Structure 1
Amino acid sequence: MRKVSHILEDKGARVITVPQEAPVLEVIRLMAEHHIGSVLVMRGPEIIGIATERDYARKVILQGRSSADTPVSVIMSSPVVCVSPGDTVPACMAIMTERKLRHLPVVDDGQLIGMVSIGDLVRSVIEDQQMEIHQLQQYITS
Protein backbone atom coordinates (compact mmCIF):
# COMPACT_ATOMS: atom_id res chain seq x y z
CA MET A 1 0.00 0.00 0.00
CA ARG A 2 1.41 3.37 -1.02
CA LYS A 3 2.30 5.87 1.63
CA VAL A 4 2.64 9.62 1.72
CA SER A 5 6.44 9.25 1.54
CA HIS A 6 6.09 7.57 -1.88
CA ILE A 7 4.02 10.47 -3.19
CA LEU A 8 6.58 12.99 -1.95
CA GLU A 9 9.38 11.00 -3.62
CA ASP A 10 7.51 11.26 -6.92
CA LYS A 11 6.32 14.88 -6.75
CA GLY A 12 8.97 16.50 -4.59
CA ALA A 13 8.70 18.23 -1.26
CA ARG A 14 8.39 21.87 -2.32
CA VAL A 15 5.79 23.77 -0.28
CA ILE A 16 4.89 27.42 -0.68
CA THR A 17 4.63 29.20 2.67
CA VAL A 18 3.91 32.75 3.76
CA PRO A 19 4.24 34.65 7.03
CA GLN A 20 1.04 35.46 8.91
CA GLU A 21 1.41 39.17 8.05
CA ALA A 22 1.43 38.61 4.28
CA PRO A 23 -1.38 40.46 2.47
CA VAL A 24 -4.02 38.22 0.92
CA LEU A 25 -3.27 39.75 -2.51
CA GLU A 26 0.32 38.47 -2.31
CA VAL A 27 -0.94 35.03 -1.29
CA ILE A 28 -3.35 34.84 -4.24
CA ARG A 29 -0.55 35.92 -6.61
CA LEU A 30 1.67 33.13 -5.25
CA MET A 31 -1.08 30.57 -5.76
CA ALA A 32 -1.62 31.72 -9.35
CA GLU A 33 2.12 31.86 -10.09
CA HIS A 34 2.72 28.34 -8.79
CA HIS A 35 -0.60 26.86 -10.01
CA ILE A 36 -1.57 25.72 -6.53
CA GLY A 37 -4.73 25.94 -4.45
CA SER A 38 -3.28 26.62 -1.02
CA VAL A 39 -0.32 27.98 0.92
CA LEU A 40 0.74 27.31 4.46
CA VAL A 41 0.82 30.22 6.89
CA MET A 42 3.85 30.11 9.15
CA ARG A 43 5.13 31.71 12.33
CA GLY A 44 8.80 30.90 12.00
CA PRO A 45 9.01 27.11 11.58
CA GLU A 46 5.50 26.58 13.03
CA ILE A 47 2.47 25.95 10.80
CA ILE A 48 -0.28 28.18 12.16
CA GLY A 49 -2.77 27.99 9.31
CA ILE A 50 -3.54 27.21 5.71
CA ALA A 51 -4.97 29.68 3.21
CA THR A 52 -6.90 28.26 0.28
CA GLU A 53 -8.76 29.57 -2.74
CA ARG A 54 -11.93 28.63 -0.87
CA ASP A 55 -10.89 30.81 2.09
CA TYR A 56 -10.29 33.70 -0.31
CA ALA A 57 -13.70 33.35 -1.95
CA ARG A 58 -15.60 33.03 1.32
CA LYS A 59 -13.68 35.34 3.63
CA VAL A 60 -12.49 38.11 1.32
CA ILE A 61 -14.72 38.38 -1.72
CA LEU A 62 -18.04 37.55 -0.07
CA GLN A 63 -17.29 39.68 2.98
CA GLY A 64 -16.14 42.69 0.95
CA ARG A 65 -12.62 42.79 2.37
CA SER A 66 -9.68 44.32 0.54
CA SER A 67 -7.14 41.75 -0.71
CA ALA A 68 -4.36 44.31 -0.46
CA ASP A 69 -5.14 45.39 3.11
CA THR A 70 -6.15 42.09 4.73
CA PRO A 71 -3.41 39.94 6.29
CA VAL A 72 -3.63 36.25 5.47
CA SER A 73 -3.95 35.45 9.18
CA VAL A 74 -7.48 36.90 9.08
CA ILE A 75 -8.72 34.44 6.43
CA MET A 76 -6.59 31.33 7.06
CA SER A 77 -8.08 28.09 8.33
CA SER A 78 -6.70 26.88 11.63
CA PRO A 79 -5.78 24.52 13.19
CA VAL A 80 -4.22 22.63 10.30
CA VAL A 81 -4.69 18.88 9.93
CA CYS A 82 -1.32 17.30 9.13
CA VAL A 83 -0.20 13.81 8.18
CA SER A 84 3.09 11.95 8.48
CA PRO A 85 5.19 10.34 5.73
CA GLY A 86 4.17 6.90 7.01
CA ASP A 87 0.43 7.50 6.59
CA THR A 88 -1.24 5.53 3.82
CA VAL A 89 -3.04 6.97 0.82
CA PRO A 90 -6.42 5.51 1.91
CA ALA A 91 -6.00 7.00 5.39
CA CYS A 92 -5.29 10.44 3.90
CA MET A 93 -8.28 10.13 1.57
CA ALA A 94 -10.48 9.29 4.55
CA ILE A 95 -9.24 12.37 6.44
CA MET A 96 -9.86 14.59 3.42
CA THR A 97 -13.34 13.19 2.85
CA GLU A 98 -14.38 13.39 6.49
CA ARG A 99 -13.08 16.92 7.03
CA LYS A 100 -13.76 18.25 3.51
CA LEU A 101 -10.09 19.13 2.90
CA ARG A 102 -8.12 19.27 -0.34
CA HIS A 103 -4.58 19.65 1.03
CA LEU A 104 -2.65 17.99 3.84
CA PRO A 105 0.75 19.21 5.03
CA VAL A 106 3.21 16.42 5.74
CA VAL A 107 5.14 16.77 9.00
CA ASP A 108 7.93 14.53 10.27
CA ASP A 109 9.34 15.06 13.79
CA GLY A 110 7.75 18.51 13.91
CA GLN A 111 9.31 19.58 10.58
CA LEU A 112 7.29 20.43 7.48
CA ILE A 113 8.53 18.13 4.71
CA GLY A 114 5.85 18.43 2.02
CA MET A 115 2.21 18.69 1.08
CA VAL A 116 -0.19 16.27 -0.59
CA SER A 117 -3.34 17.23 -2.43
CA ILE A 118 -6.43 15.23 -3.28
CA GLY A 119 -5.12 15.16 -6.86
CA ASP A 120 -1.86 13.55 -5.68
CA LEU A 121 -3.80 10.88 -3.80
CA VAL A 122 -6.17 10.10 -6.69
CA ARG A 123 -3.21 9.89 -9.10
CA SER A 124 -1.54 7.42 -6.73
CA VAL A 125 -4.65 5.22 -6.54
CA ILE A 126 -4.97 5.21 -10.34
CA GLU A 127 -1.31 4.25 -10.77
CA ASP A 128 -1.70 1.40 -8.28
CA GLN A 129 -4.82 0.15 -10.05
CA GLN A 130 -3.12 0.29 -13.45
CA MET A 131 -0.18 -1.69 -12.09
CA GLU A 132 -2.51 -4.30 -10.59
CA ILE A 133 -4.44 -4.62 -13.87
CA HIS A 134 -1.18 -5.08 -15.78
CA GLN A 135 0.00 -7.75 -13.35
CA LEU A 136 -3.32 -9.59 -13.59
CA GLN A 137 -3.18 -9.46 -17.38
CA GLN A 138 0.34 -10.85 -17.30
CA TYR A 139 -0.79 -13.64 -14.98
CA ILE A 140 -3.76 -14.54 -17.19
CA THR A 141 -1.72 -14.63 -20.41
CA SER A 142 1.17 -16.64 -18.98
Structure 2
Amino acid sequence: MAFVHYVVEQARERLVMMNEAADILDVARHLQAGTDMVVLHDGRDCLSGILTKTDLVERLARGEHLHTHAPVFTVMRREVVTCRESDDLRALWSLMQERGLKNLPLVDGADHPVGVLNARDALECLLRETENEEGLLRDYIMGFGYR
Protein backbone atom coordinates (compact mmCIF):
# COMPACT_ATOMS: atom_id res chain seq x y z
CA MET A 1 0.00 0.00 0.00
CA ALA A 2 1.37 3.42 -0.98
CA PHE A 3 1.16 6.36 1.38
CA VAL A 4 1.80 10.07 0.93
CA HIS A 5 5.00 9.80 2.97
CA TYR A 6 6.59 8.04 -0.04
CA VAL A 7 6.39 11.31 -2.03
CA VAL A 8 6.80 13.79 0.80
CA GLU A 9 10.15 15.12 -0.45
CA GLN A 10 8.66 16.09 -3.83
CA ALA A 11 5.69 17.62 -1.98
CA ARG A 12 7.98 19.74 0.19
CA GLU A 13 9.81 21.04 -2.89
CA ARG A 14 6.52 22.16 -4.46
CA LEU A 15 5.38 24.23 -1.48
CA VAL A 16 5.05 27.95 -2.11
CA MET A 17 3.52 29.53 0.95
CA MET A 18 2.55 33.14 1.56
CA ASN A 19 0.62 35.08 4.16
CA GLU A 20 -3.06 35.59 3.33
CA ALA A 21 -2.52 39.35 3.70
CA ALA A 22 -0.11 39.44 0.72
CA ASP A 23 -1.14 41.40 -2.37
CA ILE A 24 -2.89 39.48 -5.13
CA LEU A 25 -0.18 40.72 -7.49
CA ASP A 26 2.60 39.16 -5.38
CA VAL A 27 0.82 35.81 -5.39
CA ALA A 28 0.16 36.09 -9.14
CA ARG A 29 3.90 36.58 -9.73
CA HIS A 30 4.57 33.24 -8.06
CA LEU A 31 1.90 31.61 -10.21
CA GLN A 32 3.39 33.16 -13.34
CA ALA A 33 6.80 31.75 -12.42
CA GLY A 34 5.60 28.17 -12.86
CA THR A 35 3.90 27.45 -9.55
CA ASP A 36 0.47 25.83 -9.86
CA MET A 37 -0.76 26.60 -6.37
CA VAL A 38 0.14 29.07 -3.64
CA VAL A 39 -0.74 27.88 -0.17
CA LEU A 40 -1.89 30.71 2.07
CA HIS A 41 -1.52 30.86 5.82
CA ASP A 42 -2.71 33.05 8.62
CA GLY A 43 -0.33 34.76 11.03
CA ARG A 44 0.12 31.48 12.95
CA ASP A 45 1.27 29.52 9.87
CA CYS A 46 -1.97 27.51 9.77
CA LEU A 47 -3.53 26.82 6.38
CA SER A 48 -6.17 29.43 5.60
CA GLY A 49 -6.66 28.88 1.87
CA ILE A 50 -5.11 28.46 -1.56
CA LEU A 51 -4.95 30.33 -4.83
CA THR A 52 -4.30 28.65 -8.17
CA LYS A 53 -3.83 29.86 -11.71
CA THR A 54 -7.23 28.39 -12.52
CA ASP A 55 -8.85 30.40 -9.72
CA LEU A 56 -7.53 33.66 -11.15
CA VAL A 57 -8.39 32.81 -14.75
CA GLU A 58 -11.95 31.80 -13.78
CA ARG A 59 -12.48 35.12 -11.99
CA LEU A 60 -11.18 37.07 -14.97
CA ALA A 61 -13.32 35.03 -17.38
CA ARG A 62 -16.40 35.93 -15.31
CA GLY A 63 -15.48 39.58 -15.80
CA GLU A 64 -14.45 40.22 -12.21
CA HIS A 65 -12.15 43.19 -11.74
CA LEU A 66 -9.27 42.19 -9.51
CA HIS A 67 -7.55 44.90 -7.54
CA THR A 68 -3.97 43.73 -7.71
CA HIS A 69 -2.98 45.38 -4.44
CA ALA A 70 -5.91 43.93 -2.51
CA PRO A 71 -5.06 41.25 0.02
CA VAL A 72 -5.22 37.74 -1.39
CA PHE A 73 -7.65 36.63 1.34
CA THR A 74 -10.33 38.52 -0.61
CA VAL A 75 -10.07 36.02 -3.51
CA MET A 76 -8.51 32.87 -2.07
CA ARG A 77 -10.31 29.55 -1.93
CA ARG A 78 -11.06 28.85 1.74
CA GLU A 79 -12.56 25.37 1.47
CA VAL A 80 -9.57 23.22 0.69
CA VAL A 81 -9.09 19.46 0.44
CA THR A 82 -5.86 18.58 2.23
CA CYS A 83 -3.84 15.43 2.85
CA ARG A 84 -1.45 14.09 5.46
CA GLU A 85 1.65 11.89 5.23
CA SER A 86 -0.26 8.87 6.54
CA ASP A 87 -3.01 9.08 3.87
CA ASP A 88 -3.39 6.32 1.28
CA LEU A 89 -2.25 7.50 -2.16
CA ARG A 90 -4.80 5.33 -4.00
CA ALA A 91 -7.68 6.97 -2.13
CA LEU A 92 -6.23 10.44 -2.72
CA TRP A 93 -5.66 9.68 -6.42
CA SER A 94 -9.32 8.67 -6.74
CA LEU A 95 -10.41 11.82 -4.93
CA MET A 96 -8.22 13.99 -7.15
CA GLN A 97 -9.67 12.39 -10.29
CA GLU A 98 -13.23 12.68 -9.00
CA ARG A 99 -12.88 16.39 -8.16
CA GLY A 100 -10.52 17.36 -10.96
CA LEU A 101 -7.71 18.38 -8.61
CA LYS A 102 -4.11 18.60 -9.74
CA ASN A 103 -2.61 19.46 -6.35
CA LEU A 104 -3.46 18.99 -2.67
CA PRO A 105 -1.86 20.87 0.22
CA LEU A 106 -0.01 18.53 2.56
CA VAL A 107 -0.47 19.50 6.21
CA ASP A 108 0.93 18.23 9.48
CA GLY A 109 -1.08 17.37 12.59
CA ALA A 110 -1.49 21.04 13.50
CA ASP A 111 -2.73 22.01 9.99
CA HIS A 112 0.57 23.70 9.15
CA PRO A 113 1.31 23.41 5.41
CA VAL A 114 4.40 21.30 4.78
CA GLY A 115 4.07 20.53 1.05
CA VAL A 116 1.91 20.18 -2.03
CA LEU A 117 1.00 16.72 -3.32
CA ASN A 118 0.95 16.76 -7.11
CA ALA A 119 -1.17 14.27 -9.06
CA ARG A 120 1.81 13.32 -11.26
CA ASP A 121 3.94 12.41 -8.24
CA ALA A 122 1.10 10.35 -6.77
CA LEU A 123 0.54 8.50 -10.05
CA GLU A 124 4.24 7.77 -10.54
CA CYS A 125 4.44 6.31 -7.03
CA LEU A 126 1.36 4.17 -7.64
CA LEU A 127 2.79 2.92 -10.93
CA ARG A 128 6.08 1.97 -9.25
CA GLU A 129 4.14 0.10 -6.58
CA THR A 130 2.14 -1.78 -9.23
CA GLU A 131 5.32 -2.71 -11.13
CA ASN A 132 6.87 -4.00 -7.90
CA GLU A 133 3.77 -6.09 -7.14
CA GLU A 134 3.84 -7.55 -10.66
CA GLY A 135 7.50 -8.50 -10.21
CA LEU A 136 6.79 -10.22 -6.90
CA LEU A 137 3.87 -12.12 -8.42
CA ARG A 138 5.99 -13.18 -11.41
CA ASP A 139 8.75 -14.42 -9.08
CA TYR A 140 6.20 -16.34 -7.01
CA ILE A 141 4.67 -17.99 -10.08
CA MET A 142 8.10 -18.88 -11.48
CA GLY A 143 9.07 -20.38 -8.12
CA PHE A 144 12.05 -18.12 -7.43
CA GLY A 145 12.98 -18.23 -3.79
CA TYR A 146 10.81 -21.27 -3.04
CA ARG A 147 13.26 -24.13 -3.49
**TM tier, smaller:** 0.7 to 0.9
Structure 1 residues 129 and 12: alpha-carbon distance in aligned structure 2, compared to 1, 3 A threshold: same
Alpha-carbon offset, residue 88 of structure 1: 0.5
Question: 2:78 maps to what in 1?
Answer: 78
User: What is the TM-score when the length of structure 2 is the normalising length?
Assistant: 0.79
Q: Which has the higher contact order (CA 8 A, sep 6+)?
A: 2
Question: 1:41 maps to what in 2?
Answer: 40
2:39 aligned partner, one-letter code: L
**Secondary structure of the structure 2 residue equivalent to 1:104:** strand
1:122 aligns with 2:132: no
Question: 1:106 maps to what in 2?
Answer: 106
1:132 aligned partner, one-letter code: E
Q: C-alpha distance in 2, partners of 1:88/1:67? A: 40
Structure 1 residues 138 and 67: alpha-carbon distance in aligned structure 2, compared to 1, 3 A threshold: farther
Q: C-alpha distance in 2, partners of 1:52/1:104? A: 11
**Secondary structure of the structure 2 residue equivalent to 1:18:** strand
Q: C-alpha distance in 2, partners of 1:12/1:47? A: 15
Question: 2:51 maps to what in 1?
Answer: 51
Q: C-alpha distance in 2, partners of 1:12/1:92? A: 14
**Secondary structure of the structure 2 residue equivalent to 1:91:** helix
1:85 touches 1:106 (CA, 8 Å); kept in 2? yes
Q: C-alpha distance in 2, partners of 1:118/1:12? A: 10
Question: 1:96 maps to what in 2?
Answer: 96
Q: C-alpha distance in 2, partners of 1:8/1:102? A: 16
Gaps of 5+ in 2: none
Structure 1 residues 67 and 53: alpha-carbon distance in aligned structure 2, compared to 1, 3 A threshold: farther
Q: How many residues align?
A: 140
Larger Rg computed on CA atoms: 2
Alpha-carbon offset, residue 81 of structure 1: 1.7
**Secondary structure of the structure 1 residue equivalent to 2:12:** coil
Q: Percent identity?
A: 24
Report the aligned-residue RMSD: 2.3
